[in-house]
Amino acid sequence: MLEVNVKEARAKFSQLLNKVEQGQDILLTRRGKKVACLVPPEKDQRLPSLKEFRQTISVPGKGLGAAVLTARDEERY
C-alpha cells in the first residue's frame, strides 16, 4: 500500500487515481496520521440477500398485526 500525505495527494491526484485504477491501494495521511484510503471499487459489491435468513426467523405467538388489533380493541373498553 502506497502512503501519501494529503499535500502531495492534492498535487498528484490524477496520477494517484491512475494507480488506484490499476488496482493499487493508497493510504492518505495528514501529519503522519491515517485519514483516508483510496481503493479501487469492487466489480460486484452487492450485499448478500437476506431472504433466506429472514425465513429462518420465527417468533412465537400471534403476528404483529393481530397483536395491534387486540391492543386497539382492549383500549376501546
Structural domains in the chain, CATH included, are 1-41 (3.40.1620.10)
Q: Which of 76, 72, 17 is nearest to 28 (CA)?
A: 17
Q: What is the DSSP letter of 29?
A: E
Say if residues 1 and 12 touch (Cβ distance below 8 Å). Answer: no
Largest CA distance in the chain: 73
Contacts (Cβ under 8 Å, ≥6 apart) of 20: 26, 38, 39, 40
Task: Please list the pLDDT of the chain residue by residue as tens digits (77 residues).
Answer: 899 999 999 999 999 999 999 999 999 999 999 999 999 987 666 778 888 888 888 878 878 888 888 888 888 76
